[in-house]
Structure formats: C-alpha cells, structure tokens
Structure 1
Amino acid sequence: MLQALGLGPTEEAVYTALMAQPTASAHDLARSTGIAAAETARVLADMETRGLVSVAPQPEHEESGPVGQPTGSQFVRYRLTPPSVALAPFLVEQRNALHQAESAFSVLIEQYRNTAVQSAAGVVEVVVGVEQVAHRFHQLQRGAQRELLLFLVGAPVAVPREDTDVSEGFALDRGVDFRVVAARDYLDGPDLARDVRAAITAGLEIRLVDSLPLKMVVSDRERAMVPLDTADSGGEPSAIVVHRSGLLTALVHLFEKEWAQARPLHTTTTGVRAEPTVDQHPTQGELEVLALLLAGFSDRRAASQLGLSIRTVERRTRRLMDLAGADSRLQLGWHAARAGWL
C-alpha cells in the first residue's frame, strides 16, 4: 500500500511493524520483520531524515542495551510521525507526478494524431462535388504516360460517358496501354456496343465480368481514384484519390486479379458484324455473341447489345455449339477456353 506513495518494500515493512507498537528499536523491528538489524537501522535513519519517524526519548534506565550488549544505533528507539503529517507530502508528490504524467500522455496522443493525419493526407485525398470529381478523373486519365486501368460499373454519376470517351481517346492517341474490366450492367446504356467497338478499334482492351466491387481508375500505378458512397458526402458525388502506398498496391492487385478472370470482348474493326460462314472457326460476329453469353448475358440482352435479332443470336450460338461439338453452353464455354477462341 505504501509503495504507491513512493516507499520501498523494506521501508513499508519497517513502517508497518513500528505502527503496531508505540516505540521500537531497530533490534526490536528486525526480530518482527525478519530484516537484518543493520539494514533495519539504516532504513530507520533514512525514514527519520524524510520525517516519517522520530527518535523517542530514552528513559534513563534504558541508556544501555540489553545485558551483555553495548549500546548503539540498533537500540535507539523510534516512534512514528503521525501519518496525516508524515505521508501527506508523499501523497501530494505522487498526485503531482500523476498529473504531469497525464499531461505528457495527452501531449503524446495529440502529437501522434497529428502525425497520423499528416501521413494519411499524403496517401489519400478526398474530392467532393461533381466538378471536382470530374476534374480529378480527367487529370488522372490525361496525365497517364504508360498505363491506365479501369473498372467500369453501372451508369456514370459525375463523369458523363461522352466525356470519358474523350479522355480515353486522348490517352490512346498517346500510346498509353489502356485496359478495362467492365461489369455487365455497364453495357446496358444506349449505343454502348458502338462506343465499345470504336474504343477497341482504337486500341483499348476490354474484358467482361458479372460484377465488380467498385469503380476505379489507376494511372501509371502511381495514383488511383475510387468513388465514395454519396451518403458519406451529403448526397454529393465524391471520391478518394489514392497515392503511392500499400493501399494503391492492393487496388492494382485487385485489378489484375479481375482482369485474369474476365472474358475478353471481341468486336469487328470495321463496325460491320460478319454473318456466319461455312468455316471451322468462329466468325468475329460469333465471337461477339460468345463473349456476351459467357459473361452471363441472356440471348435477349445479347441481341439488344449487339443490335441483332434474337433469332440471329440463337443461330450464331447454335453454330458455335456445332463447331465445338458441345451439347450445352457449359461445354461450349469449356471448349472455347481450350481452343483459344477467347
């Protein structure tokens, strides 16, 4: 208990033993505590200096020690200074030390928070508002020198598709390696098949997946932009721009993983879909149908995307199955992968 006030274990033992009797000598206290008499005498002398004990008056008949023993410091009798007087300064000292520790603790916490915020500010930048989001998006696309990686999901919010097309064309004209993974719902917009065909003709590589976890653009693997939920920004479009960091590395890894699993989207370079011909290899038009079917599109959705009739899609699908010797679309997909059609 007294150690909390700054007394050591030996001091506490001697102090507690002395509390049980009006006065006692080092010799008496050594017997009750089991501490050597010389050590007990040293502790008592130190405690006297600190005001914890005082020397008790010595009766005249006790001027000498026990019979046969000389007088000395071990036989000087001590008594406690009232704890309310002796221990109060120790309590105040401990309180002050605790207050200083709490103040230092608060300062360290604040310094750490400031450092963490400054560090995070160098990694993640928050952009809020349609104009600001669109501006940063175009900066990333137009500033790319080597590579652009995109996840396309659903309908655009802050950047219209026509503006995206302009940025894509600007990057492709400069020879930037441009790869896109698109979710099926991205192709639901009007005239998307035509726009995708034009982009592929210009050099863009695009693959399809059933779904993606987020929208994203990565520029030269140095910066990435990811939209935020509008609920987090009061209903306004917002996004984070991620700079070089472990987070950016994770986003690039996510893209490469989705890219490896996605299905390539084929289209004609002339804009005219070739009708099936008697051949042992799929035509370009058939590959367009195949890519959409393997991406999970129904015949009706595939027909709508390609501007074909359902009967034409069904006819191309039937011929693909004949070429593959497949009895089901599952077997068709397996054969297409094995034959390198996609």
Structure 2
Amino acid sequence: MLQALGLGPAEEAIYTALMARPTASARELAGQTAIEEGEAARILLDLATRGLVAVATEAGSETSESADCGAGFQPARYRLTPPSVAMAPFLVEQRNALHRAETAFSMLTEQYRSTAAHPAGSVVEVVVGAEQVAHRFHQLQRGAQRELLVFLVGVPIAVPREDADVSENSALDRGVDFRVVAARSYLDGEDVSRDVRAGILAGLELRLADSLPLKMVVSDRERAMVPLDMADSGGEPSAIVVHRSGLLTALVHLFEREWAQARPLYTTATGVREESAADQQPTEGELEVLALLLAGFSDRRAASQLGVSIRTVERRTRRLMDLAGADSRLQLGWHAARSGWL
C-alpha cells in the first residue's frame, strides 16, 4: 500500500512494524521483520531524513538528530511522525505527477492529430483484421473515463460477447456512465437475456429499439468505432475509428435520437422486460430522489441520505427527466409540480 507513496518493500515493512510500537530500535525492528539489523538502521535513518520517523529521547520527545544521539551508549529508538503530517507531501507529489502525465498525454494526442500525414488521418482511422478491431474496441471501452454510448446490433464478430462483458464490467466499476441501445433482434442470441440482466443490475442503462442503422461505440464523446462491411475488406472484420470532428458529433446526435425513442428495459426475477404504458409513472425510489433534489440536496448528499450510489441517483434523475420530457432539473421540478408527482 505504501509503495504507492514512494516506499520500497523493505521500507514499508519497517514503517509498518514501527506503527505497532510506541518506539523501537533498529535491532527490535530487524527481529520483527527478518531484515538485517544494519539494513534496518539504514532504512530508519533514511526515513528520518525524509521526515517519516523521528529519533525518540528518553523523555519521549522527538529530535531530528542522527542515531548516534541516543542517551549514553544505548541504541537509538525511533517513533513515527504522525502520518497525516508526514505523508501529505508525498501524496501531493503523486497528484502533481499524475496531473503532469495527463497534461503530457493531452499534448501528445493533440500533436499527433495536428501532424498526421493526411488531413483525413486525424479524423478517421481504418482498422482491419479481427485482432486489430478487438484491440481498438477494448482501448475505447477501457479508456473511457466519463461515458460510453453503444449500439448493439446482430451477432458479435470480431469481439466475442464474453470479452466485451469484461470491458463493460471494468467501465461500470470505474463509475463510467454506460448507456446502450440494443436492436430487438439482439436479445434473440443465446444467453443474451441473462447477460443483459447482469449488466443492468451492475448499473448499465439499456433501451430497446425495433431496429438500428449500425453498430457503434462512442467513448467520452471523443472517439467512436463503427464496423465496416466485411465485403469491403476481403472478408476480414474491419472498422473505422472516428476522432473528434463533425462526423463524431453526428454519430453522438444519432445515438441521442435513438435513445430518446427507444424503450427502457428493466430486470425481473427471471430476466428483463420492456417498459410498458404502466411504467410511464415514477417509481417510489425515483420519487424519493426527486423530493431530495427539490429540497436542494446535491446528488452526493441524496445518495448518502438514501443509502445508494451516486450513479443510482443520476440514473433515477435521468429517467425522471425522460418521463417529464425535461431538458433541465428546473423544468423537471415544474413538471413534477404540475403532474402531482409529489
């Protein structure tokens, strides 16, 4: 755990062992950790230099002096510096390093796009072959930080459904907003209903359409992947990856249009079912969220009050807005009052 803050395995062992004692000498810690006494003493001096431990005097006060300053010829004894004080600079440095890495990533991405050999190369990338298509698909799903928008059509070709499920679960675990529109025929596949139910229970939002114009995945509204006709690539699976452009914006608009017209799917004890006319009213759980939001609660505070996740609050709020035909929470409140929801 402490290796993430810059401590090596031996340093972590010494630090953790010292945590269980008011004070300890290098010899005592060496016996407890199976690290040689000389190495333990070196580690303690290094930790003291970094402000993580301090040399303890007989009176129990702390000093920044070296191990030779112990009372008489007694070996120096060490105590921990409060972690909340000692670890803070390391944590800040880790955060700063991550920020620098993210900035470098953004700069490299923009530089790549601006220096592509052909003007269209920065907008559309053609990927050919089952292995390459699967690789790019997983990159898009596993790289998503905020949102994934997906059209599901027909039988998977380049990416087996079980492999797609692994990427899907990884995205849901990260808290990615995951919305899917599936063609009705997609649910006819073997074991699909079971997998769909598991996905909905994990936080995926799924709606059903009679038909869809294409397969598609959009990652963070920055990249999209659309399969090509295999006849155009010698019978091999192929796809295009679309980067930020007017074309990508059009694909996002297409998704939102289909999403608005599609019917939600809900879990049942044995599978999933399509929303019916009776489902056009808010559920009890949705009304609880609505009451808290209208009372001025934030999503996070509402989630804490109800004992649910923030993602659940956001999902219930979105469905309320869909039922109300509202584009904002202000419009949602007005519709709720007019319709007698509360």
- How does the TM-score come out when normalised to structure 1? 0.46
Higher radius of gyration, 1 or 2: 1
